[in-house]
Amino acid sequence: MSNQKNPIENNTNVEGNEGFDIKKFISKIVSNWYLFLLSVIICVAIAFFYTRYSQPDYKITSKITIDDSGSEGLLGGKASSSSMMDFSDLLDISSNAYNEIDILKTNSLMAEVIKALNLNVTIYKKGKIRSDELYDESPFNIQVIDKVDSIEGRKYDIDIEGGKIHLTNSKDDIDTTVKFGQVVSLEQYNLIFTENPNKKIDPYGYKFTIQSIDDKISAFAKIFDVQLTDKKSTTLNLTFEYPNPKKGEVILQKLMDLYLKSNLESKKQIADSTLKFIKNRINVVSSELSGVETQFQQFKENNQLADVDEQGKALVANVSDYYNKLNELQMQYSLLQDVAKYINDPTNKRLIPNSLSVQDPVFLAAVQAYDQILIQRDQLALSYKDDNPILKNIDANLEEARVSLVKSFNTYKQLLLTSIDDLKTKNNSLTTQVANVPKKERVYLDYARQQDLKQELYLYLLQKREETAISETSTISAARIIDPAKADYLPFKPNKPLAYIVGLLLGFLFPYGYLYIKDMLNIKIINKGDVEQNSKIPVIGEIGYNADGNHLVVENNARSTLSEQFRGLRTNLQFVLKPGQCNVIMITSSMSGEGKSFITMNIGSVLALGGKKVLLMELDLRKPKLSVNMGLDNANGFSNYIVSDNVNIDSIIKPAFFSENCFLISSGPPPPNPSELLLSERLPQLMIELRKRFDYIIIDSAPVGLVSDAQLIEKESDMCLYIVRQEYTFKSQLNIINNLVNEGKFKKAYLVVNGITSRKSGYYGYGYGYGYGYGYGYGYGAYNNTPVKTSLWSRIFKKD
């Protein structure tokens, strides 16, 4: 037997080393199933009421596409550049999709929507639990007059009965009844209620809230979003979350309509600026043309000229090409003089016409860049103040573009002047050649040339004025709606499947968390893990709770759970005791009440049933219970033998009633000095003699956590059984036996867990085949506090 492997010495918590113990987890749920079931029912019920009565939110979506390409001309095809002015090009705004997102999110645009739909007033229909927002379902409308933006939000309750409105507000102490159409004067504003006929009045009543525009803008900003559908796309996806799907669709649609209107007005503003410029130039050119024609007419009248002399035809034929070139350059120079008024003034924020009859591509590109930055600034000014860093940065870019434009303008102007001077020089050369031409003919030609120049410019401006006017009336927005506002059929909040799943999970987590925290805060031994975490001493046996209170649970034919557990303990003892000799087993504990005497009595009984001769020694001299539990007289015992040489061993050994192989040495009369008796030299002599007579000696000693008696007896024992009791022994008390073993005061110690209940997890797995369903415990003291006679044993230990 000594060569057998000791399962007790190698007792380790394998599952604990692996981390999460699934058996322990399932055991905790099974043993507390009622708590988990109740928690799941409550959490699922809460999820049901949440999904049933919480305010639903619908998602309203729409799409807008932004045209970033240049607009097409009136006759189709992209407008092409030419040497003549094309003011319709000024209507081609390159729209940046990201800028449009910022514009759609501006507070000013949302404020226009709120004002247009009166959204700062929200009407609700009262319900038993929740209130639902109304739109056109309300039997009345509310008009707020004399309203200011800095109002404080207020809630009002309304009851309608007999065509009258009962208005209440506890905060402002308002309780009044008014008629429809009557002005209600309040502290911050006045209200007028108008009736919506053919609308059913709800018996639960109504309520409404009034907020400032700014508060409503902030609320809408949280539920409105604009995103690009794709990084390479210019299509914007607009989403709006609102509890009333019909009202949400109207709000989002109104926002898109106002955005498109604003976009269109921006283009019309550019066209208006171009028309204004053309009209001013027409007035100037018309005046100049009238002056030239008047002078020309006066010249012909004064000189009585009806026609030009044939002599001038040859000269005209020779110089006509130079005159045409000079006229064109002078016309460009004249237009540049007007443009100079725009670009030389840093404070001027008006757009510069960029389709003039300009031959220089560098100057034309600079004009277009300047106009594009100016348009971008006008759009951002809708969202930001002038001191905003973004606008300041745009202003800096605008000034840089203006400076670059001035440089390009000066370069192009100088080029024109050089060309004009060159042509004048050539004309002077030709003039020298025709010196013989009559003076009147030369004057006539000068007047004719000036008249042609002014007339051509005047006709050109008239043409462009009509083209620009037509373009203005046919202007379309750079953005267009491709999907109108549409709400989802079902609300996205609350999410019923998710709510039920969360409720189910929380139904499991709450009780498990409660049990986990309870275990964490518990200071007493609850399960096997508590023992293994606080002590490395092996557990040699586990005894169930003795619900019947019987002191003796191991009898000859007993097949109860407790009796089988003691048989299992007997089997485990065979692995740690020395075979072929008498083994002395000392039983102790931390404190009184942990079941030492109960364990001693039943271990003795189970060993005696195995055919061994067993002696029980009651050495708890301070509070002896073993003899009382066995119903034996304690008048003569161990203390008598120690103090008197006249008392022999045979006189203190008493037979046990439950087995012919089991005997008892009681403690005897309580001595005044228990520790000194245990130090007597007669104790070793007694143990030597007893070892010769018995196979097992089981000592019921005093609790080692209270007195040192057990330490005095330990040297006479072969092993120690340290009793701990579930939900009774403190975890810290395991340090007592730990320290005794570590200090070498107890040579061979093992733990026995007593009082285990079936509903407590952590004590399954030894598999005796009977389970812990009955539950057992133990008691102490005499039967009904009365000394028990031998004839009463059959009744005392008889099971129900």
Q: What is the pLDDT of residues 347-398, one digit of tens each?
A: 766 777 655 556 677 777 777 777 778 787 777 777 777 778 887 888 788 7
CB-facing half-sphere around the CA of 666: CA atoms within 13 A: 24
Q: Are residues 457 and 558 in the same domain?
A: no
Last residue in a domain, options 479, 504, 519: 479
8 A C-beta contact, residue 787 and residue 631: yes
In a domain, 572, yes or no: yes
For residue 480, pLDDT beyond 70: yes
| Predicted confidence (pLDDT) per residue in 10-19, tens digit | 444 433 444 5
Q: Are residues 599 and 463 in the same domain?
A: no
Distance between CA 734 and CA 537 in Å, rounded? 9
Query: Phi and psi (nearest 5°) for 487?
Result: -90, 150
| Predicted confidence (pLDDT) per residue in 52-65, tens digit | 888 899 999 999 98
Q: Are residues 69 and 214 in the same domain?
A: yes
What average pLDDT score do residues 295-311 get?
A: 64
Q: Are residues 618 and 764 in the same domain?
A: yes
DSSP annotation of 546: B
In a domain, 580, yes or no: yes
The whole-number pLDDT of residue 391 equals 78
Distance between CA 456 and CA 329 in Å, rounded? 13
8 A C-beta contact, residue 667 and residue 621: yes
Q: Are residues 684 and 706 in the same domain?
A: yes
| Predicted confidence (pLDDT) per residue in 671-687, tens digit | 888 888 888 888 999 99
| Predicted confidence (pLDDT) per residue in 179-206, tens digit | 888 888 888 888 999 988 888 888 888 9
Residue 211 identity? Q
What average pLDDT score do residues 27-47 get?
A: 89
In a domain, 724, yes or no: yes
The whole-number pLDDT of residue 706 equals 81
Spell 322-345 as b/e; 16+ CB within 10 A means b: bbebbbbbbbbebbbeebeebbee
The whole-number pLDDT of residue 204 equals 86
Find the range with the poorest average confidence among 121-130, 453-462, 638-647.
453-462
Distance between CA 372 and CA 164 in Å, rounded? 59
Could you list the beta-strand ranges (E) of 134-223. 140-145, 154-161, 164-169, 174-179, 183-185, 190-195, 206-210
Q: Are residues 307 and 382 in the same domain?
A: yes
In a domain, 517, yes or no: no
In a domain, 735, yes or no: yes
| Predicted confidence (pLDDT) per residue in 757-786, tens digit | 865 444 443 333 333 333 333 333 333 333
Residue 291 CA, distance from chain mean position = 79
The whole-number pLDDT of residue 42 equals 95
What average pLDDT score do residues 503-532 get?
A: 84
In a domain, 518, yes or no: no
Q: Are residues 212 and 287 in the same domain?
A: no
Q: Are residues 384 and 281 in the same domain?
A: yes
Distance between CA 586 and CA 576 in Å, rounded? 14
| Predicted confidence (pLDDT) per residue in 640-655, tens digit | 988 888 888 888 999 9
Side-by-side strand order, sheet with 235-242 = 224-228, 235-242, 58-66, 479-487
Q: Which two tokens stand for residue 262?
A: 């604003």
More confident residue, 473 or 249: 249
Peptide bond into 197 cis (omega under 30): no
In a domain, 608, yes or no: yes
Quick one: what percent of the chain has pLDDT higher than 90?
Answer: 19
In a domain, 313, yes or no: yes
What average pLDDT score do residues 121-149 get?
A: 84
Contacts of 374 (CB under 8 A, 6+ apart): 349, 351, 398
User: Which 3 state secondary structure label does DSSP give 411?
Assistant: helix
Q: Are residues 276 and 248 in the same domain?
A: no
Domain that holds residue 413: 269-479
8 A C-beta contact, residue 163 and residue 177: no
Q: Are residues 401 and 456 in the same domain?
A: yes
The whole-number pLDDT of residue 662 equals 93
The whole-number pLDDT of residue 787 equals 35
The whole-number pLDDT of residue 306 equals 55
Q: Which domain CATH number covers 750? A: 3.40.50.300
The whole-number pLDDT of residue 305 equals 59
Burial class, 22, CB count within 10 angstroms (exposed 0-12 / middle 13-18 / buried 19+) = exposed
| Predicted confidence (pLDDT) per residue in 717-758, tens digit | 999 999 999 888 888 888 888 888 898 888 889 999 988 886
The whole-number pLDDT of residue 272 equals 73
More confident residue, 635 or 504: 504
If pLDDT is split at 50, 70 and 90, which confidence band does 223 have? very high
Contacts of 164 (CB under 8 A, 6+ apart): 177, 178, 179
User: Which 3 state secondary structure label does DSSP give 410?
Assistant: helix
Residue ranges of the alpha helices (H) in 593-681?
A: 596-609, 626-630, 638-643, 649-652, 674-678
If pLDDT is split at 50, 70 and 90, which confidence band does 239 have? very high
Q: Are residues 295 and 405 in the same domain?
A: yes
Contacts of 139 (CB under 8 A, 6+ apart): 160, 195, 196, 199, 200, 201
Last residue in a domain, options 432, 461, 479: 479
What average pLDDT score do residues 570-595 get?
A: 89
Contacts of 210 (CB under 8 A, 6+ apart): 120, 121, 144, 151, 153, 154, 156, 189
Find the range with the poorest average confidence among 251-255, 367-371, 790-794.
790-794
What average pLDDT score do residues 474-485 get?
A: 77
Last residue in a domain, options 262, 284, 309: 262
Number of structural domains found in the chain: 3
Q: Are residues 176 and 284 in the same domain?
A: no
